[in-house]
Structure formats: structure tokens, C-alpha cells
Amino acid sequence: MLEISGLGHAYGTHRVLEGIDLKVGEGELVTIVGPSGCGKSTLLRCIAGLVPPTEGKVVLKGAPIDGVPDDLAVVFQDYSRSLLPWLTVRDNVALPLRRRGLGKAERRAQAVKALASVGLEDAAGKYPWQLSGGMQQRVSIARALAYKPTLMLMDEPFGSVDAQTREDLEDLVLQVHRAEGMTILLVTHDIDESVYLGDRVVVLARNPGRVRDELPVTLPAGRDQIGTRADAEFVRLRAEVGRLVRGVVKDSEPPDATDAEDADAEAVATAVEEPAKK
């Protein structure tokens, strides 16, 4: 359903992404993992139509993406800034439904239903800032669910919550994926997470960001935090992905840039990203 071909992005002369080819099938949960500064977030923003790619194209359900597509939802890493503090949790979830042509009561009913599916039915009347970080990210997920997108993009969604909450939220994503059959593309820098969640893991290399390899995850669909992580297959995959992320591969690729260069690249990326969004 999602087809990316030859996608590249450059901020001025700085190439962030180059020659990205990626296909995502209906109902698949694909994780994208890579070292920091490999352009993961830019790739996601290109797919979301928030940033126009400088080359190549993204096709969603047969239609090339030009601007934000209609049935796509994004869960951002920064939940506290992505939720609107002046609206209650329920209204935050209901607001995007305005353009679905639903009445107010109907929007609210759907919002409450989506909140119930992430275990937050009791928090509907609260404000986001009255909730813990993990609960706020649940609200973001509920907002995306209520929107009923065909493709859900998640940009390092659990990057700023504690480990325990993170595991709970990972299981929530798996549960949602199974229950709704939604196609999900999740970006992370966490190798374990990419293997635990994905049907398929796409590993990116950096400078410029490109696909290094893709690995099908051969774990059974029903996963759990303790058992799956102890599984020999999980351990093997994690080691494999870890090697790929660190750039330790057989072929003659140059070793990855140093951390200093990496920080530069990130700074450039964020500096240029803001005006580019306009």
C-alpha cells in the first residue's frame, strides 16, 4: 500500500537521505531503525507529506503523496507538545475528527471509544498536563486511532518515557495493530524495540541516510515482554540488527562518521526543518 522509490532529501548541500526504496504491505508493522542522524525522522516526515522530498516519490495506495495525505495519522515523539494543553483529553482526540464531517456528539463518542481502547476512559475530562508522560502518549495514540487512518506513522513514540511505561506502550501498539489491522510504520533508535514490534525491520545507515538492509522478523505474532525477549530467535535478530546499525558489515562500506559530525548533521537538520515546514 505504501511504496517509496528513490527518495532523497537534502538541506542545501547536506544530503540527509539518498535512494531510499521501501515497500510496506497492507496491515504490516514495519519498524525503521538506525543510528542517530541517519535521517529517520526526515524520512517519516517525507512520508507524512510534512516535508517535500527533493527527489524520488512516495506513493500511498496508488496516489503519489503531495502534501499530507487524507487517511494518515502521526504519533510524534514529543507528546507533551503535540497535545494541545487548552483542550481536555477527549477534545484533543476529537478535534481531528472535525474534518470527517461528524457532529459534535458523534466526535466525542468516538474519542471516548478510542480512549477506552488505550485504557484511558477515566481521563477523558482531564487536561493532558494532568497526566503522566506515558498516559499522554496513550492519548496521542488514541487520537491517531480515532482518526481511523489507513497508515499510522510513529516517530520514536517511546523515546521519552521510562522503561516500564515503554514496555506497556509497546504492547499497546502490538495490541492495536492486531485488533485494528492497521498498517504501522514505526521509527526508533532502539534495536530491541525494532525487533520486538516489527514484522519486518528496516535498518538505515547514515551520511547520507540510506537503507542498509531489511530483515523479516520470524518471531510468532503473539509476543510478550519477558518470553519473546528471551527467545533464541529474538536474540539472534537483535544481534543481527545491532551489527547492521553499528555498520559492522562484510562489505567495504566506510565506517560511520564520528559523533561530532553526527551532532552537526542533526543540528543542520533541525535548523532547516522549521522553515521548511511552512
Binding residues vs other proteins (CB under 8 A): 48, 50, 68, 70, 72-74, 76, 78, 81-82, 84-87, 95-96, 98-99, 127, 129-130, 143, 147, 274, 277
- Pick between residue 50 and residue 109 the one whose CB is nearest to other proteins: 50
Cell readout for 188 is: 526508533
* Min separation Cβ 250 and other proteins, Å: 39
Using alpha carbons only, how large is the chain's radius of gyration in Å? Answer: 19
Cα–Cα distance measured from residue 20 to residue 11, given in angstroms and rounded to the nearest whole number: 16
Neighbours of 260 (CB within 10 A): 8
- Pick between residue 55 and residue 70 the one whose CB is nearest to other proteins: 70
- Pick between residue 109 and residue 276 the one whose CB is nearest to other proteins: 276
Cα–Cα distance measured from residue 14 to residue 243, given in angstroms and rounded to the nearest whole number: 26
- Pick between residue 168 and residue 273 the one whose CB is nearest to other proteins: 273
Cα–Cα distance measured from residue 241 to residue 247, given in angstroms and rounded to the nearest whole number: 10
* Min separation Cβ 143 and other proteins, Å: 8
* Min separation Cβ 131 and other proteins, Å: 9
DSSP string, 133-156: HHHHHHHHHHHHHHT--SEEEEES
- Pick between residue 248 and residue 271 the one whose CB is nearest to other proteins: 271
* Min separation Cβ 277 and other proteins, Å: 6
CB 231 within 8 Å of CB 219: yes
DSSP E strands: which ranges in 25-117? 29-33, 55-60, 63-64, 72-75
* Min separation Cβ 204 and other proteins, Å: 22
